[in-house]
Amino acid sequence: MIFQAIDNIRRSNIRYLLTTTYPAGRNRAIRTGDFFSIDLSAPPYNFPPPIKVLDDYVPPFDRRQLALWEIESLRKA
């Protein structure tokens, strides 16, 4: 389902995507509705480096970031 969502974003007319990513997250298959800390820059998503990153966490929780991508860069990736 995540690949369908990413494809919808790539086909849209929006210019930017601002979303949460976990730089040390473990990407894995889950059941719909479960949670995992996704790293959008790692396989299988392989997003390019974001334009801007804002740390969005408080220790001892997992390092979380808000990352900004230009949609055109996701279309090329």
Instruction: For the chain, give every domain's residue range.
Output: 1-76
| Maximal CA-CA distance, the chain | 38
Instruction: Write out pLDDT tens, residues 27-54.
Output: 999 999 999 999 999 999 999 999 999 9
Integer angstrom CA distances of residue 31 from 36, 37, 39, 45, 70: 10, 14, 17, 18, 29
Predicted confidence at residue 3, as pLDDT, reads: 92
pTM: 0.87
